[in-house]
Structure 1
Amino acid sequence: MDQVTGEIVTFYEQRYDEAARLDRRPQCRLERIRTLELLRELLPAAPARVLDVGGGPGAYARELLTDGYQVRLVDLVPLHVKQAREGQPPIDAVVGDARELPEADGSQDATLLLGPLYHLQERGDRVRALREAIRVTRPGGPIAAAVISRFAGPIDFVASARFDERMVAESRRLLTDGVNDGSTGFTQAYFHRVAELTAECREAGLADVVIHGVEGPGWPAAEAAQHGPHAEKIFEAALQVARVYSAEPDLVAASGHLLAVGTAPLR
């Protein structure tokens, strides 16, 4: 295990509770709801085989199991694999790297990359992970890959009243450099522009690429309002706006997460 990989594993095993993340804040609730909606639109009918690469403790894998899919989870973090196996329903899960998947060519009906591209700072590694997803997916099968938007951090700090002079400098830096500043509390990571994600997907060979903004442009309002009298009304409005403008090119970058969807090319 190299140093960067070791830092990522340590972060998730000792400093951050990924198992609770999707229930923690309005932005995370929006992420969960919209990701599931988009996956259910994308995936072939159950009981199709779905590979969940970087699936963490299994939040999405369990939903898909309940829907009747055959799901296998691969994650870099041993703790996440343990949590996936021990939860209910238990998930078929193994430790693995998105850049070298332990699966046969064309063995999956669909493949999800809902985390690995966050943590691969080198473009070549991200393209390699996308190519691996294509390799293990049957020709014509759907693939979904999530990234963090280049502008998510500063917007989040504004919405949560944490924006300060240091964040002004960070906002300027992010205009030209997507590598995460570890002093903000997150681990080794890379933040994407929309055009960059599109180009990486196409370089990897993914066909029919569409980029969605997962949480939509209303998520900062939901964050800022979460303790106020209109919290649920604003949350529901943000969810509706996210649905309406999901793939609107002029708005997708305002989301906290981007989801590239496409298909494995016909061979």
Structure 2
Amino acid sequence: MTGDLIEHYGTDLIEDTRLHRSPHGRLEFLRTQELIRRHLPAAPLRILDVGGATGVHAAWLAADGHDVQVIDPVPAHVEASAQLPGVTAQLGDARALDAPDRTADVVMLLGPLYHLTESADRARSLAEAVRVLRPGGLLVAAGISRYLTLLEMGSDGNLTADAEPSLRAVMTTGSYDGHVGFLPSHFHTADELVAEVRTAGVNDVIVYGVEGPTWAALDTAGMAAFDGLVEAAIRGARLTEQDPHLINASAHFLAVAQTPVH
């Protein structure tokens, strides 16, 4: 998987623009930022951004006054992150963190849980995050919805009969085969993400739908319409962020949990 990540992300730094180049990417960034800030204690905190890519979230966290370290398997990502003010970066693997026990206030896994296609690897990454967190520390983990490509392809006119088997597979099993150009990955349901994070031994797992049900409509409207539509889309996302009937219509999930104090 590491070699595939380097090949996919490491040549043209596409992760550097992913959250800015499309309307739904912009919505994802704004809502992820909002949800993380909602749960963070006051600065300064020691934050490990595991799988943090080029530091798109590390940058604003550092600007908020936190001590942020990006850990990523892609050399080009580490190089880019290390250039950001207030951010340090190192090569690393979410499944085996080069960090001491109980030294971080926050660990963010905003990419590893969908890039790690085997459940045992996801469990190892969550266990490593919990290991390095201080008692009462905050775990933040992202997942991709099993319904993302259905909603995307159904909205942009690309849902054909040929695409149906792949869509049925990802909706049923979570196994995404890369049919719209992304790496083969594991896509979650909200309930599945709760269950996986809970097995790491944390307390009070909360999973939010990040973008809400209108993100695909933003893409259909196009970038020129974004500024006029984004406020309503964010309000819709907030209204449905924990609605059991609509949470899986978000493109991404964000799980938040706390390590035991004792």
Bucket of the pairwise TM-score, normalised by the shorter protein: over 0.9
Distance of 1:16 and 1:163 partners within structure 2:
28
Conserved in 2, the CA contact under 8 Å of 1:119 and 1:190?
Answer: yes
How far is the alpha carbon of 1:16 from its aligned partner? 6.0
1:84 maps to which residue?
Answer: 81
* Equivalent of 2:57 in 37, 57, 60: 60
Query: Structure 1, residues 56-94: CA drift from partner, whole Å, max 9, x if none?
Result: 0001001011000011110111110011112x4262000
Distance of 2:20 and 2:108 partners within structure 1:
21
Tell me the TM-score normalised to structure 1 length.
0.93
Distance of 1:16 and 1:158 partners within structure 2:
28
Superposed, which structure 2 residues align to 1:28-177 within 5 Å?
28-86=25-83, 88-89=84-85, 91-177=87-173
Query: Structure 1, residues 162-220: CA drift from partner, whole Å, max 9, x if none?
Result: 22222222222223221221343111311011221111111111210011000111111
* Equivalent of 1:189 in 185, 189, 192: 185
Conserved in 2, the CA contact under 8 Å of 1:245 and 1:251?
Answer: yes
Conserved in 1, the CA contact under 8 Å of 2:68 and 2:86?
Answer: no
Tell me the TM-score normalised to structure 2 length.
0.95
For 2:212, the aligned partner's letter is: G
Query: Structure 1, residues 105-147: CA drift from partner, whole Å, max 9, x if none?
Result: 1101111111111110111111111111111111111111001
Does the residue aligned with 1:139 lie in a helix, a strand or coil?
A: strand
Query: Structure 1, residues 234-257: CA drift from partner, whole Å, max 9, x if none?
Result: 332111111222222222111000
Change (3 A) 1:183 1:14: farther
- For these two proteins, the number of residue pairs brought into alignment is 262
2:247 maps to which residue?
Answer: 252
Change (3 A) 1:143 1:97: same
For 2:209, the aligned partner's letter is: G
For 2:216, the aligned partner's letter is: P
RMSD: 1.6
For 2:21, the aligned partner's letter is: R
Does the residue aligned with 1:175 lie in a helix, a strand or coil?
A: helix
Conserved in 1, the CA contact under 8 Å of 2:95 and 2:128?
Answer: yes
Alignment of 1:266 with 2:241, yes or no, is no
Distance of 1:81 and 1:152 partners within structure 2:
28
Distance of 1:145 and 1:120 partners within structure 2:
13
* Equivalent of 1:23 in 20, 43, 49: 20
Distance of 1:162 and 1:14 partners within structure 2:
27
Query: Structure 1, residues 20-73: CA drift from partner, whole Å, max 9, x if none?
Result: 111011110111000001111111110111111110000100101100001111
Distance of 1:231 and 1:66 partners within structure 2:
25
- What residue ranges of structure 2 are gaps of 5+ in the alignment? none
Conserved in 2, the CA contact under 8 Å of 1:7 and 1:188?
Answer: no
Which stretch shifts more, 11-20 or 37-46? Answer: 11-20
Does the residue aligned with 1:104 lie in a helix, a strand or coil?
A: coil
* Equivalent of 2:216 in 192, 211, 220: 220
Identity of aligned residues (%): 43
For 1:123, the aligned partner's letter is: S
- What residue ranges of structure 1 are gaps of 5+ in the alignment? none
Conserved in 2, the CA contact under 8 Å of 1:216 and 1:238?
Answer: yes
Distance of 1:30 and 1:225 partners within structure 2:
13
Alignment of 1:243 with 2:238, yes or no, is yes
Distance of 1:90 and 1:195 partners within structure 2:
36
Change (3 A) 1:174 1:188: closer
Conserved in 1, the CA contact under 8 Å of 2:23 and 2:223?
Answer: no
Distance of 1:77 and 1:188 partners within structure 2:
17
